[in-house]
Amino acid sequence: MASLLQDRLPINQDVLLMQKGTLMRKVRSKIWKRLRYFRLQQDCMTVWHARQAGGKAKPSFSISDVETVRKGDESELLRSLAEEFPLEQGFTVVFHGRRSNLDLVANSPEEAQTWMQGLQILVDFVTNMDQQERLDHDWFQRGDKNQDGRMNFQEVQRLLHLMNVEMDQEYAFQLFQAADGSHSDTLEAKEFTEFYKALTKRTEVQELFENFSADGQKLTLLEFVDFLREEQKEGDHAPDLALELIDCYEPSESGKLRHVLSMDGFLGYLCSKDGDIFKPTYLPIYQDMTQPLNHYYINSSHNTYLVGDQLCGQSSVEGYIRALKRGCRCLEVDIWDGPNGEPIVYHGHTLTTRIPFKEVVATVAQYAFQTSDYPVILSLENHCSWEQQEIMAQHLTEILGEQLLSTTLDGLLPTQLPSPEELRRKILVKGKKLKTLEEDLEEEEEEEELESESVEEQETELEPETEFETQRLSPRSMDKKEKKSTPIICPALSALVVYMKSVSFHSFTHSKEHYRFYELSSFSEAKAKRLIKEAGNEFVQHNAWQLSRVYPSGLRTDSSNYNPLEFWNVGCQMVAMNVQTAGLEMDIYDGLFRQNGGCGYVLKPDFLRDTQSSFHPERPISPFKTKMLLVQVISGQQLPKVDETKERAIVDPLVRVEIFGIRPDTSWQETNYVENNGFNPHWGQTLCFRVLVPELALLRFVVQDYNWTSRNDFVGQYTLPWTCMQQGYRHIHLLSKDGTSLHPASIFVYICIREDLEVDES
């Protein structure tokens, strides 16, 4: 293990066997199953594969890309091949983001165990590594082309191009010689760390440090307090915060004892979560979670079972696993009659693949509360016959057990929806219901009193109501039916719907007069947009007392998304997204739900929780105070290459700042581009925005590679709510298109928010 890990990673038999290599079967489908030779490299950080031992190898994956390793019996694909390959010989490598899982089958259970245990050891080790150590190691391995554990100057020059650095050759050689303490004309791992440190020196941070430091060597406690109060807008708690930050980020013990901050400590603070643009106090759960469900935005997924497009894509329980792990709390399940009396899940009238309903329920039971303890809502699109609905009810009841909410919390008739706090670790069913909740509760009381009543009499009582409820099925459900006649709802399934009864929408007046707080309607994106335009304020008031769900147009066959903010602006709680599709819209969605512990529930602003609210997103009026936002884009750090295959291509970066909110607030501005510098570009430009309703605004910082011949290429982005933004000198740590970290890529900015007195006075 000739790498930076050598001194740190304990010798492990599984890891050593992985380095020798193993012939395994790579499985992509029931048809595609091919032998490949997998081997862990000597760096213990990358796994390569070839068609056979000794064959031409290429990288398969990096340990830092791996989220976890699952056993064979947890893989949907490997379970379907259990007769061909014993499940104990299989395992699955699960990656961060949207990258497809890697299913492998070893030649024996022992070999599978070796790889599962070895990979998990390495994943845990890398997860616990210091980020800077991991970074030093990654760059060293990429630069050390012949893998001899040292780099000559030619390899360093190649690495500089990989790092997006266009540097004077003479200056680069000076840095190289200064780091070459062994005078061997090569850099070993520890020497490379010194070279990298010199390379990443931050002159703009040094200047800022010296502006507040009397001697240019350190910040005294009072100097640091002044910086926190004046520039970082930390207010009255700046003195206490200064002591905490020095204790946390000052590397020298003597500095901590003297309550002073060195330049290294200052840079450490600015690059940390405390120096991040996102308020660290808003990352854990910080909101009141005891309000009714309709007072929250709820992280919701559309056609959750799909991991591809809407016509021919794959249906998979993996869709539910990924949605739940990213914080989704409302999942959609389209259920149809399946073979052998077992209901199946797929997108009706399409070529999408099918999965058993009971597998979906089992997956939800396993993963529902791994990311968040707050309630999960199963939105059932029920297209099944009476008989298979009974099977559905049986699976929900037996598999979910105590997790399933099948009656009101205290058995009494509520006057409002329960809170996320009251519904912790509960799974709720959303769907059609034969009766009202009041009738259900009355019937439960009658059953207790009249236990001898016959089943025949109970069924007779249901018939007229069943007929009435059938006529009220929503147009969307009618469109998706396979049968011409609408199937009657089975009482066993109906009884599982408690606080989430689906009803058709006619008008806001009709809902107010005829519906109850536990009844909710679904809106297509087109219908919701029309209602916003025609009756925006009524929509706001409607969503203050009743839940609404919005879903993407059926024309979005490519699983594209709409901008969720348009619907959030009128208080729609469940704005369902095709979460499998990355892009601007999912950046905005993830940006909102990044706060509050990523628990999937975000409290709406107070003016969207008031049934008498006068707010209209198209025509906002006081008490909103216009804010001025100044964003000084200072510099960038270690931006990734757009095209990794072009070693000598270096980005020409620019920064685009976008604001999304109500229509008048939605705007963007961008800096000039910096030519040939993705490593440490400097812009020093200030962008200015006016925002009327900051409570609904999100900011998206995008770095692009300027291209004069075509559209600019995406480099990285970060999106956050206005309410979660810190003022002052802040780092913005960039994310990929897929939402995964691009560490150490960041941009350094100065944020200032002011009251816009001119606008307010007029």
| Cα separation, 416 vs 741, whole angstroms | 41
pLDDT value at position 457? 43
Tally Cβ neighbours within 10 Å of residue 513: 9
| Cα separation, 578 vs 558, whole angstroms | 10
Q: Which residue has the higher pLDDT, 164 or 249?
A: 249
Q: Is the N-terminal amide bond of 721 cis, ω within 30° of 0?
A: no
Q: Single out the catalytic residue among 137, 302, 383, 395.
A: 302
Say yes or no to pLDDT of 89 above 90.
Answer: yes
Residue 351 buriedness (CB in 10 A; 0-12 / 13-18 / 19+)? exposed
Token reading at 678: 């993705």
| Cα separation, 250 vs 717, whole angstroms | 30
Q: What is the mean pLDDT of residues 302-324?
A: 88
Q: Are residues 529 and 600 in the same domain?
A: yes
Q: Are residues 265 and 140 in the same domain?
A: no
Token reading at 635: 């510099």
The partner residues of 753 in beta bridges, in order of sequence, read 629
Say yes or no to pLDDT of 435 above 90.
Answer: no
Q: What is the DSSP letter of 276?
A: B
Nearest CA among 723, 589, 726, 605 for reference residue 280: 726
pLDDT value at position 484? 43
Token reading at 339: 């073979």
Q: How many helices (H) and strands (E) does the chain have?
A: 24, 31
Residue pair 103/90 in contact by the 8 Å Cβ criterion? yes
Q: Are residues 428 and 519 in the same domain?
A: yes
Of 281-290, 297-306, 478-487, the least confident: 478-487
Positions of E strands within 598-652: 601-603, 627-637
| Cα separation, 574 vs 93, whole angstroms | 32
Say yes or no to pLDDT of 315 above 80.
Answer: yes
Q: What is the DSSP letter of 503?
A: -
Residue 476: pLDDT band (50, 70, 90) is very low
Parallel, antiparallel, or unpaired for β 90-95 and 66-71? antiparallel
Residue 762 lies in a domain: no
The domain spanning residue 695 has which CATH number?
2.60.40.150
| Cα separation, 527 vs 434, whole angstroms | 26
Q: Which residue has the higher pLDDT, 454 or 306?
A: 306
pLDDT value at position 94? 95
What are the b/e assignments for 624-649, b being 16+ CB within 10 Å?
bebbbbebbbbbbbbbbbbeeeeeee
Parallel, antiparallel, or unpaired for β 102-105 and 90-95? antiparallel
Q: How far is CA 602 from the centre of its chain?
A: 14
Q: Are residues 224 and 191 in the same domain?
A: no
What's at 529, amino acid-wise? Answer: K
pLDDT tens digit sequence for 385-399: 999 999 999 999 999
Say yes or no to pLDDT of 84 above 60.
Answer: yes
Tally Cβ neighbours within 10 Å of residue 737: 17
**Using N-to-C axis directions, what is the helix angle for 238-249 and 263-270, rounded to 10°?**
110
Q: Which residue has the higher pLDDT, 10 or 64?
A: 64
Residue 121: pLDDT band (50, 70, 90) is very high
Token reading at 540: 């706001």
Q: Are residues 269 and 332 in the same domain?
A: no
pLDDT value at position 260? 96
Say yes or no to pLDDT of 342 above 90.
Answer: yes
Taken as a whole, the chain contains a residue count of 762
What's at 682, amino acid-wise? Answer: H
| Cα separation, 591 vs 586, whole angstroms | 8
Residue 650 lies in a domain: yes
Percent of the chain predicted with pLDDT > 70: 88
| Cα separation, 425 vs 430, whole angstroms | 16
Residue 448 lies in a domain: no
Q: What is the mean pLDDT of residues 558-566?
A: 94
Residue 378 lies in a domain: yes
Residue 446 lies in a domain: no
Say yes or no to pLDDT of 572 above 80.
Answer: yes
Say yes or no to pLDDT of 460 above 60.
Answer: no
pLDDT value at position 684? 97
Q: What is the DSSP letter of 122?
A: H
The last residue of one of the domains, among 247, 275, 303, is 275
| Cα separation, 512 vs 541, whole angstroms | 10
Token reading at 611: 């049934």
Q: What is the mean pLDDT of residues 3-20?
A: 75
pLDDT value at position 351? 80
214 by DSSP, 3-state: which? coil
| Cα separation, 420 vs 296, whole angstroms | 9
Q: Single out the catalytic residue among 49, 137, 295, 347.
A: 347
pLDDT value at position 361? 98
Say yes or no to pLDDT of 131 above 90.
Answer: no
The domain spanning residue 420 has which CATH number?
3.20.20.190
587 by DSSP, 3-state: which? helix
Q: Are residues 423 and 532 in the same domain?
A: yes
pLDDT value at position 209? 96
pLDDT value at position 698? 98
pLDDT value at position 708? 86
Residue 496: pLDDT band (50, 70, 90) is very high
| Cα separation, 704 vs 684, whole angstroms | 16
Q: Are residues 270 and 371 in the same domain?
A: no
Q: How far is CA 291 from the centre of its chain?
A: 24
Nearest CA among 743, 739, 719, 645 for reference residue 99: 739
The partner residues of 95 in beta bridges, in order of sequence, read 66
Residue pair 647/720 in contact by the 8 Å Cβ criterion? no
pLDDT value at position 7? 52
pLDDT value at position 136? 56
Of 32-36, 95-99, 277-281, the least confident: 95-99
Output the CA–CA distances (angstroms, integers) from residue 566 to 528, 531, 539, 656, in the order listed.
9, 11, 12, 21
The partner residues of 382 in beta bridges, in order of sequence, read 335
Residue 538: pLDDT band (50, 70, 90) is very high
pLDDT value at position 431? 96
Residue 185 buriedness (CB in 10 A; 0-12 / 13-18 / 19+)? exposed
Supply the Cα-derived Rg of the chain in whole angstroms.
29
Q: Are residues 391 and 498 in the same domain?
A: yes
Q: Are residues 649 and 708 in the same domain?
A: yes
Structural domain count of the chain: 5
Active site annotation includes 237: no
pLDDT value at position 500? 96
Q: How far is CA 145 from the centre of its chain?
A: 35
The mean pLDDT of the chain is 88
pLDDT tens digit sequence for 199-232: 778 999 999 999 999 999 999 999 999 999 999 9
Q: Are residues 184 and 234 in the same domain?
A: no
The partner residues of 68 in beta bridges, in order of sequence, read 94
The last residue of one of the domains, among 129, 144, 164, is 129
pLDDT value at position 197? 79
Q: Are residues 171 and 49 in the same domain?
A: no
Q: Are residues 390 and 536 in the same domain?
A: yes
pLDDT value at position 138? 63
What's at 707, amino acid-wise? Answer: N
pLDDT tens digit sequence for 360-384: 999 999 999 999 999 999 999 999 9
Residue 456 lies in a domain: no
Q: Is the N-terminal amide bond of 623 cis, ω within 30° of 0?
A: yes
pLDDT value at position 350? 83
Active site annotation includes 302: yes
pLDDT value at position 139? 64
pLDDT value at position 645? 57
Give residues with Cβ within 8 angstroms of 2, minimum separation 6. Answer: 42, 43, 147, 149
Q: What is the mean pLDDT of residues 138-144?
A: 63
Residue 475: pLDDT band (50, 70, 90) is very low
| Residue ranges making up the domain that contains 564 | 293-435+487-608
Residue 479 lies in a domain: no
User: What's the start-to-end Cα distance of the chain, in Å?
Assistant: 70
Q: What is the mean pLDDT of residues 598-604?
A: 98
Residue 346: pLDDT band (50, 70, 90) is very high
pLDDT value at position 192? 80
The last residue of one of the domains, among 74, 100, 129, is 129
Give residues with Cβ within 8 angstroms of 525, minimum separation 6. Answer: 550, 551, 552, 553, 562, 567
Sign of the CA dihedral with 347 first, then 310, 560, and 720 last: positive
Enclosing H/E stretch for 381: strand 376-382
pLDDT tens digit sequence for 610-654: 999 999 998 887 666 889 999 999 999 989 888 765 655 789 999
Nearest CA among 362, 293, 495, 324 for reference residue 74: 362
The domain spanning residue 174 has which CATH number?
1.10.238.10
The domain spanning residue 73 has which CATH number?
2.30.29.30
pLDDT value at position 125? 86
| Cα separation, 637 vs 100, whole angstroms | 30
Positions of E strands within 152-295: 187-188, 218-219, 261-262
Say yes or no to pLDDT of 5 above 80.
Answer: no
Residue 82 lies in a domain: yes
Residue 265 — left, alpha, or beta (φ > 0 → left; ψ -120 to 50 → alpha)? alpha
